Amino acid sequence: MWQDLGRGRPELNVVNLSHEYVAAVIYGSPTLDVRDINVDSVNLSDGTGSAVAAAMYHIKQGYDENNDGRDDLKLDYRIADLKSSANKLFTSSTFRLTGRLKDEKGARPIHGERAVAVVQ
């Protein structure tokens, strides 16, 4: 089971530590085609420890989480990986995603953050 930190509704921006995964969604935009992202480079951290790599991801043509006509990318991160990399996972936090675009796009960095509530 996973909770989502990518959707806009605040009640979904909850990280439940009793679950195995937390999900992050990167929305495609006029300036970002999610297929240009080097998925292996996209890491998640709460800013207090090392960033961790996604355990799995979902990207395919037509996956449009926010219904804006552009494809989106969903990444699932293991809660245990976050805990073991010294992330403190306080009761409220900001989760940060960092990554890079693929080489043919100049390997430009990408980043984003989302305020989340962390519950036991």
* pLDDT for res 81: 94
Domain count, the chain: 1
* pLDDT for res 2: 45
The pTM assigned to this predicted structure is: 0.84
Domain of 67, CATH number, reads 2.60.40.10
CA distances from 107 to 28, 70, 110 (A): 17, 21, 9
* pLDDT for res 44: 95
Our measurement of the distance from residue 22's CA atom to the centroid of its chain's CA atoms, rounded to an integer in Å, reads 8
Across 34-54, b (16+ Cβ under 10 Å) vs e yields beebebebbbbbbeeeebbbb
Q: Residue 87 class from Cβ within 10 Å (0-12 exposed, 13-18 middle, 19+ buried)?
A: buried
* pLDDT for res 67: 86
Task: Report mean pLDDT in 10-residue bins for the chain, 120 residues.
Answer: 51 79 90 92 91 93 87 93 86 86 78 86
Q: Which residue range(s) make up the domain with 17? A: 2-119
Position 43: which residue type? N
